[in-house]
Amino acid sequence: MTEVSQVDRVMRRIEPELEEPYFMIIERGAAKCSHIDKGVTLDEASRTAICRGCKQVVDLFDALMNYAESERRLVLARERVEKFQKEQREKNERNRARMKFVRKVMSSKTKWKGEDSENMEEDGHILTLDCGHQMDWDRTLVPAEATCPTCRTAAKQPQQQPQS
C-alpha cells in the first residue's frame, strides 16, 4: 500500500464529518470594539455585561456610562426633531395666512401711459379678482392669481369692515 493511497483513505473517512472548518478564529477587528453603541447582554447568573458587538465581557460601570450617554443623545435628537416640526408647523401657518387673500384673476384691463393715442405705452393692468375687488398690477404679465390688498386690509380691521 502506497503512502498516497493511505492518505486518500484517511481523507475519505474524515471528509463527511468536516463540512465546516475545525478551528473558528475570532477576527482581530473584534478586539478593537469600542463597546459603545453596541448594547450589552446582561447575564444574571454571572452578573456580567456582554458586549453585543464583540461578545466580550465589559465593565458594568462602563456599560452604565455608555447607556447614560446614548440616552442623553436620544433626548437631544428628540428635541431637535420637535423643534424642526414646530418650525414646519409655523411656516405652514404663515403660508396659509398669506394664501387666505390669494384670489383668482377674472379679467384684466390694460393701463396706458400718455394721452397721445398714437404713442401709447403699456403701463400695467387693472385686475378684477373673483372677490369682486380690483387692484393695480404694474407688471406686464397678467397673473392667474394675486393677493387682494382690499381683502387683506379689511381683515386687519374686522370691527370697521367685517369680511368673511
Q: Where do contacts with Zn ion occur on this chain (CB under 5 A)? A: 33, 35, 51, 53-54, 131, 133, 148, 150-151
Q: How far apart are the first and last CA of the chain?
A: 109
In terms of CB distance, is 7 or 65 closer to Zn ion?
65
Q: At its nearest, how many Å lie between Zn ion and the CB of residue 121?
A: 28
In terms of CB distance, is 53 or 124 closer to Zn ion?
53
Q: Which residues contact 36 (CB under 8 A, 6 or more apart)?
A: 66, 69, 70
Q: At its nearest, how many Å lie between Zn ion and the CB of residue 9?
A: 45
Q: At its nearest, how many Å lie between Zn ion and the CB of residue 150?
A: 5
What is the number of residues in the chain? 164
In terms of CB distance, is 111 or 133 closer to Zn ion?
133
SS3 assignment, position 120: coil
SS3 labels along 114-133: CCCHHHCEEEEEEEEECCCC
Q: At its nearest, how many Å lie between Zn ion and the CB of residue 135?
A: 8
Give the span between the Cα atoms of 59 and 30, in whole angstroms.
17
In terms of CB distance, is 112 or 146 closer to Zn ion?
146
